[in-house]
Structure 1
Amino acid sequence: MITTEQNEKLRGWFAGRLPDDLFESLAEVTVDREEITVVGRIPEPKLAEGASDAEKAAALKARVQEFRERTREERVAVAREAEHRFRRKVSWGVECGTERALFTHVAAPVMTRLRQPEREVLDTLVEAGVARSRSDALAWCVRLVQRNTDDWLADLRTSLEHVRRVRSQGPDTAPEETADDEE
């Protein structure tokens, strides 16, 4: 897992490297072992007063699509540089009004061993039509846990960061003495 300081440095690099007019603001930079996801806020389209919800939703989707197409070359250039520098794929997304869209992102395989009761949970989700496969069912379960435990996960990540800081401040470990060293 990446430390808070490393994440701040990444965010700073992207804030300094991105063209000033690409986003209104840099909303989020998230990183894991495989991927860096950069999400920026873009301006909402201007609509006539009293526009319907359907018109607003269509305008937001169109603005996101227009941004994606117009900025592709700039984003690809930054991504190439970042991928070389940080050895991770870069994915992009935007927030526009109430719309949040990720353009491309890595779907990394994760191997796991499950006992029969756990497999039965996945098989039930598949049989009920909630998921197409065990893999989809497992991803669904992860999203459900993520959605319902955001505060708990945030506390856990903060605790892990504290443990890393304490470890880094500890004494260097000296190699153990051997019988040969005592002579």
Structure 2
Amino acid sequence: MITAEQGEQLRTWFAERLPEDVFASLVSVTADREEITVVGTVPAGESVGEFRERTRDQRIEVAREAEELYRRKVAWGVRSGGETTLFTHLAVPVMTRLRQSERQVLDTLVAGGVARSRADALAWCVRLVGSNTDAWLADLRGSLDAVHRVRAQGPDMAGGADSVKPGPAS
């Protein structure tokens, strides 16, 4: 998870490097440990396919620079007509341990045809929770940003107790 400040720095970095004619506007830049996702609006009168073809070389050039600098893959997406389409994005495997009752939930989704496998069922559950708890997750992310800011303002703990210098005598 990245902080709001780091997210804003990423957004600024991409906004400065993307040629002006790539997106009509930059919608969002989000990141996790593996991937940075850049989403913008398609210029008026252009289809998603036309956009992808026209901007491919420009996006590849910016992505290469970002991947070297940030050590994360770059994914791209566009917003057009109220819909967001992601392309060139990662699907990262995640290891988890589940108890029998939790596995039964996944197996029920598979048996009911909601998902093809336990992995698909788990991804479906994550999407469902995310879509039904957007406000709560936003509050939680905001709280984590506050924790990062407070930690950054604290004393330098790397040097141990000796690294804290006494203030002026009263």
| 1:39-118 equivalent positions in 2, closer than 5 A | 39-45=39-45, 63-118=47-102
Rounded Cα–Cα distance in structure 1 between residues aligned with 2:129 and 2:83: 22
Match of 2:113 in 1: 129
Structure 1: segments with no counterpart, 5+ residues: 46-61, 178-183
Q: Give the 3-state SS of the residue equivalent to 1:7 in structure 2.
A: helix
Corresponding residue pairs, total? 161
1:158 and 2:146 are equivalent in the alignment: no
Deviation at 1:25, TM superposition (A): 0.5
RMSD: 1.4
Q: Give the 3-state SS of the residue equivalent to 1:90 in structure 2.
A: strand
Q: Report Cα offsets for 1:88-134 as digits up to 9, x if no partner.
A: 00000101112311111010110000000000000000000000000
Q: Report Cα offsets for 1:69-99 as digits up to 9, x if no partner.
A: 1111111111011100110000001011123
Deviation at 1:15, TM superposition (A): 0.2
Q: Report % sequence identity.
A: 68
TM-score, normalised via structure 2 length: 0.91
Task: Give 1 or 2 for the bigger CA radius of gyration.
Answer: 1
Match of 2:36 in 1: 36
1:175 and 2:155 are equivalent in the alignment: no
Contact 1:64–1:94 (8 Å) recurs in 2: yes
